[in-house]
Structure 1
Amino acid sequence: MRDASSEVRSLRSNELRSRLLVSLLGVTLALTACSSTDPGEPSAEQEADKPRLELVPKDAAKDVSPIEPVEVRASRGTIDEVSLTNPAGKEVSGSLSKDKASWASDEPLGYDRQYTLEASIRGKDGKTVTEKSSFTTVSPAGTVYPSFLPPPKITTVGVGQPIAVIFDSPPPDQAAAERALKVTATPETEGSWYWWDDRTVHWRPKDYWKPGTKVTVDAKVYGVHLGDGMYGDTDRTLNLTIGPAKIATIDDKTHRMVVTVNGKKVKTFPVSMGRAGSTTGKDGKKISFITPSGTYVAQEKYKVKRMNSDSYGLPSDASLGYDEKIPLAVRVSNSGIFVHAAPWSVADQGRRNVSHGCVNLSPEAGRWFYDNFSYGDIVTIHNTATKLAPTDGFGDWNIPWEKWQEGSALR
């Protein structure tokens, strides 16, 4: 017969062994679970090697700039195919890098349009991963269109020609508009912009252009925010060549015009300019006939130009009024001052001033001036009783350089 206490001790020992076995089994199962791999899921190492694509802009992006490049960037693989399409399904062109790790569009997008970007990448294992996104470009509150003076049809100008950019509506942010404008000259030429008014900005060199200079004016305004939701309408470019330095200098004391070409005197002509005195226009405004002193720039020319004193407030049927067709007229100011042939005042030319403000030449001298002077050529007038307003036509040269620089919106 067994001892009861011995039996109890035996039972306890068996129980302890059983618990120990269960505990060891649990540890083994836990270790097994931690070290096992589900064949349906990639390992961390496999995930790290997976090819990836980054699309810029991201899916559902809004107000995207139409001039910022759309990009596809690949990692751990090479780009296989890229498609960027506009709403009509037309593809936007782009370029793939040599290593096929990146792609970028190389043409601007349209305003207020939705684009779809789809790209595929091929991994080291030969498998392909595809990503897709759609985004919408900015919708302007309005657009601003730039025009040039001289107009693009004029390709050669004189040494005094300023460059004017005229916007069809005022850009609210003039600094942004000015930053979008660039003048490139060969040889390099110092110059600056000057805001004439809220729509017009001029660029001129510090000194007259050097003959033979090649000039390119770029108005890269498309896609540029010009303030208050307004954006540039389109990019424009103007190309110019600077011709010979033609300068006509008129002295009211001698009533003579002296013409130089590239610094050499080539002609001397007698002239008659605006008579002394003034009259009162139909609106009660005083009208002076004196030709202002200053530096003028030739702007346009006419074989025959109809001139009517009604245009500046003097009735054509008044005693000093007129309505005439004038031959061989070269405009030098917006206020109506021309250099032109005047056969009716030949006897006065070189002696006295009898015109309404224009510079009168004989028919022969007028023909020579018309044939030889054009856009950008200089006419300077000295020793008359009034001064040319800098804002009259291309009166830019009548503003001192230091003052001119202050007219930039970037100062």
Structure 2
Amino acid sequence: MRSKRLFGTVVALLASLSLLAACSDDSDSAGFGVDLPDKKKKAETPAAKITFAPADGAEDVSVLEPIKIIVDGGELTEAKVITPAGKEVIGELAPDKLSWTSGEVLGYGKTYKYSAKAENEAGNESTQEGSFTTLAPAATPRATINPGDDATVGVGMPVSVKFPEGPVTDKAAVEKALKVETSVPVEGSWGWLGDQQVDWRPKEYWPANTKVTVNAKLYGLPYGGGAYGKADLSTSFTIGRNQVVKINTPDHKMNVYRDGKLTASYPASNGKDADPNLNTPNGTVVVMSKEPVGDFSNPRYGYTNVKKKWAVRISNHGEFIHENEENRANIGKVNSSHGCVNLFEKDAKKYYDSALIGDPVEITGSKAKFPTTSDVFDWLIPWSQWQTMSAL
């Protein structure tokens, strides 16, 4: 009886095991319902694809175009661009980790190396490396901008960007890179005064107390002929009070206006009326510089070691406003100078102290006109003509 019971127990146990095996998942290699990592799925997931812009091996790359590292089918885990000096280029990884973009301009004629790592959704890592070379200009001429930072200038002052080291052939490209911002609306335009200078002037005199900021994004900009900009320029300055000098040469006086009101009238002797070569010419010019003592020596007319006080230059043609006590008998009565505006010393000092660089000086009544050869002749050009001098 004992052996029969034992046999029955064994049969029952075998039957239970058989039923358990029948209910289990054939794919469960352990036989107890525990999943292993899906190596087959990981192997079949496409690798993340990394691309660079500019492409590996690219040459003559613009120093202004941002570098892009982009991944498709995954996320970037590392992105670097290295300078020839071994420093990392500043850049930013997008929040979605699908791209990286550089955040600084590059140097001319340099080779940069880039590298990146990315992971696909299965955790597989991809790596990519490469390099590119930026353009090497034939020349990088410097430029200047005027007025300078923090200057306070008169209401006739133009903005002037000059290229003293060579001509600009692609004027439109340069002009597009120039921006003037004002604290109040001011209508104005750029005008090219040749191949090496472009000025911005308002249609009418600047409003008094206007704040002006000028940005010239010239670095990396093609000037034409293989030349590229050397550096960006900027300036911020202020337009001062409105002061305008008006001289009608036959009147033998110089009138000074503030905000349109006459504030001073000084006896004057202007250029000789009979000789157009010695006239104080007609036209609107601006105060260009001031010297406590100016040298007016002119061997052509027999002047040697001639010094005059309170000299205010109004053109590079040779005209100044200054004291001339030696001509006292003619001041206020006869035009007897060689083109300058002669004042009594006390009046010349008062005017000198009141003048700002960029103050307009309007002259009428002469036989001659100012030639457009001075450094600042913007106001000698009618507005309609000035607008045609833009390259845009």
Is 1:384 aligned to 2:329, yes or no? Answer: no
- Please, which of 222, 243, 247 is the counterpart of residue 244 of structure 2? 247
Is 1:113 aligned to 2:110, yes or no? Answer: yes
Partner of 2:277: 288
> Secondary structure of the equivalent of 2:181?
strand
The residue type equivalent to 1:70 in the other structure is: I
Report the TM-score, using the length of structure 2 for normalisation. Answer: 0.85
Partner of 2:83: 86
Write the distance in 2 (CA, Å) between the matches of 1:358 and 1:153.
31
The residue type equivalent to 1:121 in the other structure is: A
Partner of 1:144: 141
User: What are the within-5 Å matches in structure 2 for residues 93-242 of structure 1?
Assistant: 93-150=90-147, 152=148, 155-167=151-163, 168-242=165-239
Partner of 2:325: 343
Q: CA deviation at 1:121?
A: 2.1
Matched residue count: 353
Write the distance in 2 (CA, Å) between the matches of 1:85 and 1:381.
61
Q: Spell out, residue by residue over 1:146-196, the C-alpha distance to the aligned partner (whole angstroms, 9 max, x if none).
A: 11233x256111110111111021012222222222222221222112211
> Secondary structure of the equivalent of 1:253?
helix
Is the 1:272–1:349 contact (alpha carbons within 8 Å) kept by the matching residues of 2? yes
Is the 1:146–1:219 contact (alpha carbons within 8 Å) kept by the matching residues of 2? no
Partner of 2:288: 299
Is 1:371 aligned to 2:367, yes or no? Answer: no
Q: CA deviation at 1:245?
A: 0.8
Partner of 1:325: 307
Partner of 1:395: 377
The residue type equivalent to 1:401 in the other structure is: W
The residue type equivalent to 1:292 in the other structure is: P
Partner of 2:72: 75
The residue type equivalent to 2:364 in the other structure is: H
Partner of 1:20: none
The residue type equivalent to 1:297 in the other structure is: V
Is the 2:149–2:235 contact (alpha carbons within 8 Å) kept by the matching residues of 1? no
Q: Spell out, residue by residue over 1:270-310, the C-alpha distance to the aligned partner (whole angstroms, 9 max, x if none).
A: 111112345xxxxxxxx821110111101111111222214
Write the distance in 1 (CA, Å) between the matches of 2:341 and 2:149.
27
> Secondary structure of the equivalent of 1:356?
coil
Write the distance in 1 (CA, Å) between the matches of 2:296 and 2:78.
66
Partner of 1:362: 344
Write the distance in 1 (CA, Å) between the matches of 2:67 and 2:268.
64
Partner of 1:308: 297
Q: Spell out, residue by residue over 1:110-141, the C-alpha distance to the aligned partner (whole angstroms, 9 max, x if none).
A: 11100011122233334432211100001111
Structure 2 residues not aligned, in runs of 5+: 1-38
Write the distance in 1 (CA, Å) between the matches of 2:369 and 2:282.
5
Structure 1, 290-299 or 259-268: larger mean CA deviation:
259-268
Write the distance in 2 (CA, Å) between the matches of 1:205 and 1:59.
48
Partner of 1:406: 388
Is 1:353 aligned to 2:349, yes or no? Answer: no
Write the distance in 1 (CA, Å) between the matches of 2:324 and 2:93.
67
Q: Spell out, residue by residue over 1:193-234, the C-alpha distance to the aligned partner (whole angstroms, 9 max, x if none).
A: 221111111111111111121212222111111212111111
Q: Spell out, residue by residue over 1:246-272, the C-alpha distance to the aligned partner (whole angstroms, 9 max, x if none).
A: 101111222111111122221111111
Instruction: Please tell me the root mean square deviation across aligned C-alpha atoms, in Å.
Output: 2.0
Change (3 A) 1:190 1:391: farther
Structure 1 residues not aligned, in runs of 5+: 1-37, 279-286
> Secondary structure of the equivalent of 2:385?
helix
> Secondary structure of the equivalent of 2:384?
helix
Query: What's the % identity of the aligned pairs?
Result: 39
The residue type equivalent to 2:294 in the other structure is: K
Is the 2:249–2:280 contact (alpha carbons within 8 Å) kept by the matching residues of 1? no
Write the distance in 1 (CA, Å) between the matches of 2:167 and 2:90.
33
Is the 1:73–1:103 contact (alpha carbons within 8 Å) kept by the matching residues of 2? yes
Write the distance in 2 (CA, Å) between the matches of 1:105 and 1:246.
49
